[in-house]
Chains A and B, each alone.
Chain A
Amino acid sequence: MIIPDFRISPRVDQVGIEERASRVTKRSIKKESKMNGLLLALNMIDLTTLEGKDTDGKVKQLCYKAQHLHDAYPGLPTVAAICVYPSMVKTAKQALGNSGVKVASVATAFPSGQAPRDVKIRDTKYAVANGADEVDMVISRGKFLMGEYNYVFDEIAAIKEACGDARLKVILETGELGSYDKVRRASDIAMYAGADFIKTSTGKISPAATLPVTLVMLEAIRDFYYVTGKMIAMKPAGGISKSKLALHYLVMLKEVLGEAWMNNEWFRFGASSLANDLLMQIVKEKTGLYQSKDYFSID
């Protein structure tokens, strides 16, 4: 693979990208299309808990929820994965067993990434050794903004190596990058360095995922695919808590990358409260009535 000069990554026009992104919100998703979209979105969720106060108890309950989203409504899919800190990976792995729900672990001194490389590698290896199927790393935004693209590239490549068979999600933390041009450049660096996924945000910085930022990244994935033949997955994370917004993301995915990406191997939502909103909408589509929040469990 020929590594391009990232200083000349394609440019992004702010007005144009925001206009195109808002165009997806004009698509009208109704009836069976809405139902299928809601179910698809549910199956794409990385159900997340990333708090200082996380405990085994909290993680176990979340893992149960991941497999039993709303048993009153049979036939629902599970979420795609549970996303936790490395210290919780073992607990999650045990709780999920062979349910098919994956365990994703953040690593590399999440969320700041401000640690020496060897610490980040150990962090990653620890998560993988405890059974993580996927690793969500953060890039060194400071180095990136200093223009040290080789450093960022090498770091991602090193973490990828430490991941072994685990799939690597690279968090760009787009809310700290400052422009769509930089989001595009960071996406290119991550993909060429070996990312399996590119992911918008840690969820600890505002703004987190937005439609235009996701569009920039999806377009980067498309260009990379045409150049290398390699598919890269996408994960917008943070700030997606409503069904309607999730459907907008699916519209964007459909119109930029198409069928091959429309499943949870190639697209995820990093979210904690989205699942219950989707469940509420699914039940509403079925019964015609909105239930109160108390009818949906809040693990």
Chain B
Amino acid sequence: MAKTKNNTLKLQFDTTWNYAPAPESKSIASIKPRYELFINGEFVKPSSKKYFDTINPANEEKLSEVADANAADIDKAVKAARTAYDKVWSKMPAKERAKYIYRIARMMQERAREFAVIESLDGGKPIRESRDFDVPTAANHFFYYAGWADKLEYAFPNRTAVPLGVAGQIIPWNFPLLMAAWKVAPAIATGNTVVLKPAETTPLTALKLAEIIQEADLPPGVVNIITGAGATGAAIVNHPDIDKIAFTGSTDVGKIIQKAIAGTNKKATLELGGKAANIIFEDAPLDQAVEGVINGIFFNQGHVCCAGSRLYVQESVYKTVLRKLKDRLETLIVGDPLDKNTDIGAINSKQQLETIHKYIKIGQQEGAEMFQSSCALPGKGYFCRPTLFTNVAQSSRIAQEEIFGPVLTIQTFRTEDEVIEKANNTPFGLSAGVWTDKGSKIFNMTTKMRAGVVWANTYNKFDPTSPFGGYKESGYGREGGLHGLSAYVNLI
């Protein structure tokens, strides 16, 4: 590629023709002032009598309050799940189980817009993403696993798949509804019953899902949804009558869970943190690679465990890629999550915003060069400008630790071997991306990357049929696809 003539050339993206605000209406979302625990098919008051607020991170206003479950509530939920498992769900013909799951999927589609609005209100993600990604993909997971329910003998030929029993499932705040679908759909399709805990900052769509489950006449106790913070999660993990723990969240909590269940019969799947390498070779389609990098790190404000947070660019195209990244950064719209034109919404919580700011400060102290988009931020709410760091080394903390926000570190490399070594030089191993026009290079790279998912010439693509999960400190077990079934069955 020819050299840039001079560095003074600049494109002006702050144009006289601008987009008017286009907010999605909130009126479709019916949010109750208070939510109880969903146990045994009914909404019941918590024995703690305590409630906590869930707020809209885009304006810091209270949306609703939800019950804080304690160990007694968990026990009630597990007992309900056990009874439902023993008496109803494990005995029901699989094709009948499937009908219920199909019904849930269809009802979710019918109320897709309401789910999308609530997801954006409660979690801060742009409506474009909740509408076009979270909600449809969640419904697709239910459809997909409903299809498997009566076909398990084909999934595991010559073996008999029997359910595990009661599954305790703890999900994160970054994709609340989608993670609930990832957990609940395969579990109940294979005949298990469930106690699910959504994250304390984003409980609303899971509680909406509870309403759908109630309307769908799912037998009481098959799915129980209880809310609370860390202590509630611990009570699930430590409950003696739970057969399986499925957790998605931070590596730190994953380690605690693993310690807690050591010496028990509980099975576990853990989907934890990540620090994915996204690698651009000089022969890559650069504009599409840049778009993929943007999507890889700024999708959902960077609150994605498989976010491509470490960018590696081959030195011969480094300047060009950096310029293209900066130009694209300037066209991203940060603001009201409910505005249809918003690209980057609100950071999920005050606590997470503080974590991100802490890392931005560390990056500056480490001598990395920072570039942020010049966009204005809303006066209220938790927002963070999309941020790039250059002049970063493998030994920089911002390149080693998971930030879980819209912050990208950029390093250069010279050869294929060098970048493989650098990309794998991390305690994580959830995902990676490779950008090149050469097919043989893709195959070489993908076989050598130690990551559960490797995307080639694309990034952040999800499908119910495709397994997802990590290496090393990114956890173990696979969710999605055929592999996702085996996490919920014993084969005899």
Interface residues in chain A, defined as those with a beta carbon under 8 Å from any beta carbon in chain B: 2, 4, 10-13, 15-17, 19-20, 26-34, 36-37, 40, 219, 222, 225-229, 250, 254-255, 257-260, 262
Contact = CB atoms under 8 A, between A and B. Distances in A.
A34 B1 contact: no
Nearest to A18: B288
B440 to A, nearest CB: 15
Contact of B9 (A15, A26, A225): A225
A17 B287 contact: yes
A19 B327 CA distance: 18
B252 interface: no
Given A27-B19, A262-B15, A11 B5 contact: no
The 7 A-B pairs with the shortest beta carbon distances in the complex, nearest first, are A16-B288, A28-B22, A33-B20, A13-B285, A28-B340, A259-B12, A13-B288
Contact of A226 (B5, B132, B458): B5
21 contacts: A11-B437, A12-B285, A13-B289, A16-B287, A26-B132, A27-B340, A28-B19, A29-B19, A29-B20, A32-B20, A34-B20, A36-B17, A225-B11, A226-B4, A226-B9, A227-B5, A228-B5, A250-B17, A254-B13, A260-B11, A262-B15
A255 B285 contact: no
B288 A20 contact: yes
Given A4-B2, A31-B20, A16 B291 contact: yes
Contact of B20 (A4, A12, A13, A30): A30
Interface string B288-314: 110110000000000000000000000
Q: Give chain A's interface secondary structure class.
A: helix
Nearest to A2: B2
Contacts of A31: 20
Interface in B290-344: 291-292, 323, 327, 331, 340-341
B283 interface: yes
A11 B285 contact: yes
B12 A258 contact: yes
B110 interface: no
Contacts of B128: 26
A10 B284 CA distance: 8
Contacts of B327: 222
B239 to A, nearest CB: 44
Given A13-B457, A17-B287, A255-B331, A222 B15 contact: no
B285 A259 contact: no
Given A12-B288, A27-B341, A30-B20, 20 more contacts: A10-B286, A11-B285, A11-B437, A16-B287, A16-B291, A16-B457, A20-B288, A20-B291, A26-B128, A26-B132, A28-B22, A33-B19, A219-B287, A225-B11, A226-B4, A226-B9, A255-B13, A258-B15, A259-B12, A259-B13
Contacts of B15: 254, 258-259, 262
Contact of B283 (A4, A11, A26, A30): A11
Contact of A26 (B1, B18, B288, B340): B340
Nearest to B295: A19
B457 A12 contact: no
A253 B266 CA distance: 56
A12 B11 contact: no
Contact of A16 (B9, B22, B285): B285
A16 B437 contact: no
B3 interface: yes
Contacts of B9: 225-226, 229
Contacts of A257: 11
A63 B56 CA distance: 56
A40 B18 CA distance: 12
Contacts of A36: 17
B16 A262 contact: yes
Contacts of B20: 29-34
A40 B284 CA distance: 36
Contacts of B292: 16
Contacts of B288: 12-13, 15-17, 20
Contacts of A229: 5-6, 9
Contacts of B341: 27-28
Contacts of A33: 17-20
B14 interface: yes
Given A27-B19, A226-B5, A259 B457 contact: no
A17 to B, nearest CB: 6
Nearest to A27: B341
Contacts of B1: 4, 10
Contacts of B2: 2, 4, 227
Interface in B13-39: 13-20, 22
Contacts of B132: 26
Nearest to A26: B128
A227 B287 CA distance: 16
A17, A27, A226, most chain B CB atoms within 10 A: A226
Nearest to B19: A33
A292 to B, nearest CB: 28
A276 B291 CA distance: 35
A27 B127 CA distance: 12
Contacts of A32: 20
B22 A40 contact: no
Contacts of B22: 28-30
Contact of A259 (B16, B287, B291): B16
A230 to B, nearest CB: 9
A32 B21 CA distance: 10
B4 A227 contact: yes
Interface string B259-290: 00000000000000000000000011111110
